[in-house]
């Protein structure tokens, strides 16, 4: 009744191709932006920003990156935390060795370094597919872990292999309070979401999807697999590189190679599987599910005044979290984004379903 596009006529191609074709969606989006930019910083405490929202925002960028590769181009990767590590250490070294660089430039350069590394590790994708490719990207994970743990130059000869960063300053603005970090990351996330959204609607995105759906057919109609697959690897690693740099500088502040281990790679993969493959919106849902839910679950017993030991709360967290993953995948194998779409579909018919 409320959510219905009756009477909204498109009279130009531009209107037909816009990102949010339905008027109500645009209103919702504006309201959402006002809410996240103006209302949330005013009402939430530091804890929510530091422990929930900041990791959520950063990992959403990483999840979008991985989704471009896995969801849109159909190339599995088990090594994306490694590309995050490349971005983080590239940014660390840039800030350390060329201190006059602006942080935004550092971010882009770190992303480019990660993209270059991603390109190299994407080469096997030209010959192998599916699970075999997954195993090949696993090599990236282990190799890059090893490099940062053993080659001392990357960590500036820190004796424990742990590096630390100074607060970020750019244009005379020191980003150190949780709210500032949140606003900065949110703006970055919006920019990267827009880029990703437009990439997948452009000819590059269509090439990726053609490769995903059937590579032989794509080749027959004139899509070069080398170009399509390697651009996907490069763009995806670029995103992850930037996310990695942000993860190090904005979230951790001090980190060791372990911060970017296989667990993080798998978590990224879970995010896009649970959120929805081939959906940018799904990355948001997936990241929220993986990052925020366990922490919330862990505190629920305390909130409802149910006195249990911390160990039991921790065990419960794992069990319920696991059960929820199974539940959502059983209900909707295409992820939370698909559930969202179904919900919207139902809302259009409400209150008179056929």
Partner 1 sequence: MRHQVGVKYTVLAALLAAVFGSTALQAQDKAGVPAQKKAASAPAGEQFFPVLSYRTGAYAPNGVPFANGYVDYLKLVNARDGGINGIKITFEECETGYATDRGVECYERLKGKSPTGATLFHPLSTGITFALTDKSFTDKIPIITPGYGRADSMDGTVFAWNFPLGGTYWTSSDMLVQHIGKKEGGLDKLKGKKIALVYHDSPYGKEPIPLLQERQKMHGFELLLLPVTHPGVEQKATWLQIRQQRPDYVLLWGWGVMNSTSIKEAVATGYPREKMYGVWWSGAEPDVTPAGEGAKGYNALTFLAPAGQGAVHKDILKFVHAKGEAAGNKEGFGEVLYNRGMTNAMMSVEAVKRAQIRYGKKPLKGEEVRWGLENLAIDAAAIKRLGFEGFMAPISTSCVDHEGGSAAQIHTWDGSKWVVEPGMLQPDMSIIKPMIRASAEKYAAEKKIVKRDCAKETS
Which residues of the chain form contacts with partner 1 (CB under 8 A)?
45-47, 50-51, 55, 96, 149, 156, 159-162, 164-166, 176, 252-256, 258-259, 295, 298-299, 301-302, 305-316, 319-320, 323, 327, 330
* Contact yes or no for 222/207 (Cβ under 8 A): no
Identify the bridge partners of residue 174 per DSSP, sorted by sequence position. 169
User: Burial, 67: exposed, middle or buried (Cβ in 10 Å; 0-12, 13-18, 19+)?
Assistant: buried
Give me the residue label for tokens 């606003």.
183
Which C-beta is closer to partner 1: that of 208 or that of 289?
A: 289
Among residues 24 and 162, whose Cβ is nearest to partner 1?
162
Question: Residue 182 Cβ, how far from partner 1 at the closest point, in Å?
Answer: 13
CB of 281 or CB of 320, closer to partner 1: 320
| Residue 134 beta carbon to partner 1: minimum distance, rounded to whole angstroms | 21
Burial class (CB in 10 A: 0-12, 13-18, 19+), 298: middle
CB of 172 to partner 1, least distance (A): 15
Tokens of 340: 């969202």
Q: What does the block give as tokens for 107?
A: 């971010």
* Residue number, 219 or 256, with CB nearest to partner 1: 256
For the CB of residue 42, give the shortest distance to partner 1 in the complex, in Å.
18
34 Cβ neighbours under 8 A, 6+ residues apart: none
Smallest gap, in angstroms, from Cβ of residue 312 to partner 1?
4
Cα 226 from Cα 233, distance rounded (Å): 11
Considering beta carbons, is residue 123 or 302 the nearer one to partner 1?
A: 302
Gap between the Cα atoms of 190 and 33, Å rounded: 10
């Amino acid at each position: 009744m409320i959510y219905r596009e009756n009477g909204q006529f498109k009279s130009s191609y531009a209107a037909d191709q816009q990102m949010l074709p339905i008027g109500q969606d645009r209103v919702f989006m504006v309201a959402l932006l006002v809410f996240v930019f103006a209302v949330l910083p005013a009402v939430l405490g530091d804890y929510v920003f530091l422990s929930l929202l900041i990791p959520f925002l950063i990992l959403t960028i990483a999840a979008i990156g991985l989704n471009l590769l896995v969801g849109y181009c159909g190339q599995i990767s088990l090594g994306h935390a490694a590309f995050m590590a490349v971005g983080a250490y590239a940014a660390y070294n840039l800030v350390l060795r060329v201190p006059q660089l602006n942080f935004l430039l550092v971010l882009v350069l770190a992303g480019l370094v990660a993209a270059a590394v991603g390109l190299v590790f994407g080469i096997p994708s030209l010959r192998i597919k599916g699970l075999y490719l997954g195993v090949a990207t696993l090599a990236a994970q282990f190799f890059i872990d090893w490099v940062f743990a053993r080659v001392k130059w990357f960590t500036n000869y820190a004796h424990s292999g742990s590096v630390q960063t100074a607060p970020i300053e750019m244009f005379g603005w020191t980003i150190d309070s949780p709210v500032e970090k949140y606003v900065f990351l949110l703006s970055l996330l919006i920019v990267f979401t827009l880029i990703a959204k437009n990439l997948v609607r452009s000819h590059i995105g269509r090439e990726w999807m053609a490769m995903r759906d059937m590579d032989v057919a794509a080749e027959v109609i004139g899509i070069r697999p080398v170009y399509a697959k390697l651009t996907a690897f490069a763009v995806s690693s670029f995103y992850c590189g930037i996310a990695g740099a942000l993860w190090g500088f904005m979230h951790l502040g001090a980190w060791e190679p372990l911060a970017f281990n296989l667990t993080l790679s798998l978590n990224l993969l879970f995010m896009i599987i649970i959120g929805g493959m081939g959906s940018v919106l799904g990355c948001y849902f997936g990241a929220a599910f993986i990052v925020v839910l366990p922490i919330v679950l862990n505190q629920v017993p305390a909130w409802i005044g149910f006195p249990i030991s911390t160990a039991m709360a921790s065990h419960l967290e794992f069990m319920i979290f696991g059960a929820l993953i199974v539940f959502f995948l059983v209900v909707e194998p295409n992820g939370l984004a698909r559930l969202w779409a179904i919900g919207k579909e139902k809302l259009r018919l409400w209150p008179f379903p056929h």
